[in-house]
Amino acid sequence: MPTQKLNKTKEIIDKVFRSPDIAYGLKEFADVKIDEVLKITEEEKGKFYVKCLKSKRLRVVYDEEKQKGRPEEIIRQLWLHKLNTDYKYPYDRIEVEKSVHFGREIHKKSVDIVIFKKDKITPFIIFELKIPSDKKGIEQLKSYLNAEGSEIGVWSNGVKRVILYRPYPREFSDTLPDLPSADKTIDDLLEAKKTYFGHTTDKINLKEVIESMEELVLANAGVDVFNEVFKLIYAKLYDEQEAKLNRPDKEVLFRKYKDPEKTHQTIDELFKSAIKKWPGTFLEQEKINLSPEHLSIVIGEMERVRLLGSDLSIIDEAFEHLIPEVAKGKKGQYFTPRHVIDMAVKMLNPKKDEYVIDCASGSGGFLIDTMYWVRDNHLNKSDDAMKEYAKEHIWGIDFAEEISKVSRALMLIAGDGRSHMFKLNTLDPREWQGEDENLLDARAKLKSRLLKLDNPADNIENQKTFHYFNFDILLTNPPFAGEIKDAGILRQYNFGKKKGKLINKIERHILFVERTLDMLRPGGRMAIVLPQGVLNNTNMEYVRDYLLDKARILAIVGLHGNTFKPHTGTKTSVLFLQKWGKEAGEPIKNYPVFMAVSKKPGKDNSGDKIYKKGAHDSKGRKIIEHDLGEIADEFIKFARERKYSSWE
């Protein structure tokens, strides 16, 4: 009697994909219990096989001795399961490893899966399957489709897919949002109504969709890719919100129709409606510039993506991919990694009644994270309460046109906190003057957040110069690159002068240090990302003196050198401050500033000491040992948990 072979599916799949995160991150099969659908057994010592769902033959998927797997075979079997279970194609209409004919020659490589029409002779859908890390092969798929005369081609690596479609007699340049099921035609698929909850999903990666769109059409469409994709995102946001909230049947209109002209007309109307609902990002006369044919291809890829309520870090990544390198790199403006944002927001712990600003807001990452933090910790996790909070308390400024658009869109996705997002030059309030409608709106709103000064003359001047603000919290990652040489800007800053005389130039982020402190109310808290040189270099001592004179240093967190790679390798730190004083410019004397020293963190703490700085001076030099009771105990406990060797 033969020995029963053990089913080792889960164990071997983890080895085949080299990581459980990859194996169970195959978004195409997110609803499939892989280890239940497939059966992997050890047929020879160290060699593992899967039983093909179509042919019933055993196919090798992992060789233990060589430590080599065949993830594409697993993906093929999962597709076979999905085609049979979800799309209802019987296995007698499916063939695997079919040889491709090019004239009289038989191509050496076989196609992975072929689905035949009901006659079981004519190829209908051809699959080209890859490993999860592979992003190439679409052109190869097109050659197979042309050779076999198939109408539909699917490229898939398990994480994402592209469905090519040829509206006869054109080439394979069009796309479909999905595959027709066995009892439906392509026309049925395109003419069927789609609903918000049944059609769109947040499981699709927007960046990967955009990359596919670029490869298929956008790169050669002769348009500004950022602007055209952004128009589509705006139109889709509007459509999703209308479908979810205002259409009784939840129907989505942002989709591919059989007639490209109808697709173009529908999407363009959605875009114009979005402009009216959310003015200030696009001009009223703007329209979709992609041709109907090009737009039809793009929409086929994009329509299944859900934006509202999606993971913002994934959408953030897509926007960063879209923004032209010249817009990011020229002025050293790079998106802040989500884990850095999370850390800064958590440490400052914004409350529901505190006004928060990012004066170099970029994509709005700090502000969006703040909204979620306040919702989860101070608003009983209520989305409606978060939206109301955001409308009043969340503020952002950025000078870059593209990035300013991104922040508005992300705030819309997060919950409509866009009412205080402004495209302005933070460092030069002179540019805030003007009669443009957007400037008038920004100026009126920003005046409501100006600090009220005791001297009436100073108050009037502040209304003109927008110098002192009254924000409770400021979080920002200002641009590092570039120097300010404009005398008009330099004249507005203490750092713009030396011994009473105007200097010729200064690094941009140094002015941001001064500007950000002026935006905080006395006692306000701040987190700012700065090059480590500001805190370390001897020629930056004057900046550190200024900081100590204006604020209490709460913490300095050094970031890893790879934090902003591949964009830049600049070493950075996050500086946490609390502005001195109850009145503008008045420092608090004898304010407790602590420094702890632990000689053997996490082990013998008998050498631990905690210090309190004496009467505060501009350099904070006088340090005396002091018994701080419970505060000292809590500080040492905090430090020990993180196994820091020293704190300042």
Q: Is a pLDDT exceeding 90 seen at residue 363?
A: no
Model confidence at 567, pLDDT cuts 50, 70, 90, reads low
H and E: helices and strands count for the chain: 24, 26
State what percent of residues in the chain have pLDDT above 90. Answer: 38
Kindly state the average pLDDT of the residues 503-516: 94
Weakest-pLDDT range from 243-247, 407-411, 543-547: 407-411
Question: Could you read off the pLDDT of 458-492 as tens digits, one per residue?
Answer: 999 999 999 999 999 999 999 877 889 999 999 99
**Which phi and psi (to 5°) does residue 65 adopt?**
-65, -45
Structure tokens at 180: 């027709």
Tell me whether residue 245 is in a domain. yes
Among positive and negative, which fits the CA dihedral 286, 290, 296, 297? Answer: negative
Same domain, 115 and 259: no
pLDDT on residue 582 = 57
Q: Is a pLDDT exceeding 50 seen at residue 183?
A: yes
Identity (one letter) of the amino acid at 393?
Answer: H
Tell me whether residue 313 is in a domain. no
Cβ–Cβ < 8 Å for 461, 454: no
Same domain, 188 and 214: no
Same domain, 361 and 411: yes
Q: Is a pLDDT exceeding 60 seen at residue 375?
A: yes
Q: Is a pLDDT exceeding 90 seen at residue 344?
A: yes
**Cβ atoms < 10 Å from Cβ of 341:** 24
Question: Could you read off the pLDDT of 209-250 as tens digits, one per residue?
Answer: 888 888 877 777 778 888 888 889 889 989 998 998 899 899
Weakest-pLDDT range from 249-263, 519-533, 590-604: 590-604
pLDDT on residue 324 = 59
Cβ–Cβ < 8 Å for 374, 355: no
Tell me whether residue 159 is in a domain. yes
Q: Is a pLDDT exceeding 90 seen at residue 365?
A: no
pLDDT on residue 85 = 95
* Distance of alpha carbon 407 from alpha carbon 421, whole angstroms: 8
Same domain, 352 and 240: no
Domain final residue pick, 302, 326, 350: 302
* Distance of alpha carbon 347 from alpha carbon 132, whole angstroms: 37
Cβ–Cβ < 8 Å for 157, 165: no
Which residues neighbour 244 within 8 Å (Cβ) at sequence distance 6 or greater? Answer: 196, 250, 308
Q: Is a pLDDT exceeding 90 seen at residue 426?
A: yes
SS3 344: helix
Task: Please give the full DSSP string across 105-160, using - where no structure is assigned.
Answer: EEEEEEEEEEEE-TTSSSEEEEEEE--TT----HHHHHHHHHHHT-SEEEEE-SS-
Same domain, 125 and 208: no
Identity (one letter) of the amino acid at 342?
Answer: D
Give the domain range for residue 149.
91-192
Which CATH number does the domain housing residue 381 bear? 3.40.50.150
Map tokens 């363009």 to a residue: 268
Same domain, 182 and 206: no
Identity (one letter) of the amino acid at 85?
Answer: T
Model confidence at 506, pLDDT cuts 50, 70, 90, reads very high
* Distance of alpha carbon 342 from alpha carbon 373, whole angstroms: 9
Tell me whether residue 294 is in a domain. yes
SS3 336: coil
Higher local confidence (pLDDT), 409 or 251: 251
- Taking CA atoms, 124 is separated from 113, 296, 619, in Å, by 11, 21, 77
Higher local confidence (pLDDT), 103 or 501: 501
Model confidence at 102, pLDDT cuts 50, 70, 90, reads low
Same domain, 507 and 406: yes
pLDDT on residue 173 = 66
Q: What is the number of structural domains in the chain?
A: 5
pLDDT on residue 169 = 56
Give the up-direction half-sphere exposure of residue 149: CA atoms within 13 A in the CB hemisphere. 7
Closest by alpha carbon to 471, among 546, 544, 527, 401?
527
Domain final residue pick, 493, 522, 551: 522
Same domain, 347 and 488: yes
